[in-house]
Amino acid sequence: MKYPKLREIKEAVTALIQGPYTTKFPFAPHTPAPNFRGKPIPDEKECIGCGACALVCPATAIEIIDDKAAASRELIWHYDLCIFCGQCERLCTTEKGVKLSNTEFDLATSDRKTLFSGIKKELIMCQMCDEIIAPKDQILWTAKKLEHMAFGNYMVFSALLNNLGIAKFVSKFGVSAVKRLDFFKVLCPKCRRQSHLIDEYGDSHFESAK
């Protein structure tokens, strides 16, 4: 016959005196442990819309919807898919774009359509072909990180000039003939390469250089 260990007897006596360990939630409020992983809450101000969190989300719970016509990106956290692993918070580019709440965890509902949070970001588009380059906040955040070295990158430099209102260009949607003059515009990598390959006669060597 096996005798109960002293530790088990101690636990049984403690439970008899103090009551069971389980909390009274949902009949009484529950305070989770400090490192509890609850609902991921995006921060509109700190998030730059880069989409890195969506790439690392193992449950594909973060959706990115790009609207080229409106030049905007929407990032949506779907809580009915989220497994609360914390990867989006851990690997966020700015380290502050999304935080897992340790107080909001009771997400039970009969209406799954309410189980999401979303934020919107303005996109910077190529001024020649209107292809998406990156969210404006991401470029400005990168420029801030690079400090004076940002001026060595034409695209970041041009985006900064645009943001300051010093250089305003009108997008030429549908116009594909990139010229040497377009060198200092905000261009996507494809048009940037094309603008480098225009010769002094205005002929593009883009196709032959592929």
Q: How far is the CB of 165 from ligand SF4 (least distance, A)?
A: 25
Q: State which residue, 49 or 194, has the beta carbon closest to ligand SF4.
A: 49
* C-alpha to C-alpha distance for 197 and 62, rounded to whole angstroms: 39
Nearest residue to ligand SF4 on Cβ basis: 97
Cis bond before residue 32 (omega within 30° of 0): no
Give least dist CB 161 to ligand SF4, A. 24
Give the residues lining the site for ligand SF4 (CB under 6 A).
40, 42, 47-53, 57, 59, 61-62, 75, 77, 82-88, 92-94, 97-98
- Give the nearer residue to ligand SF4 in terms of CB position, either 75 or 191: 75
Q: How far is the CB of 202 from ligand SF4 (least distance, A)?
A: 40
Output 132 or 197, the one with its CB closest to ligand SF4.
132
Among residues 42 and 160, whose Cβ is nearest to ligand SF4?
42
DSSP assignment string, 80-140? TT-----HHHHT-SSS-SEEE-SS------S-GGG-EEEEEEEEEE-TTT--EEEEHHHHH
Q: What's the closest the beta carbon of residue 150 comes to ligand SF4, in angstroms? A: 18
CA terminus-to-terminus distance, the chain:
82
Task: Measure the CA–CA gap between 187 and 135, rounded to whole angstroms.
Answer: 14
> How many other C-beta atoms are found inside a 10 Å radius of the C-beta of residue 169?
14
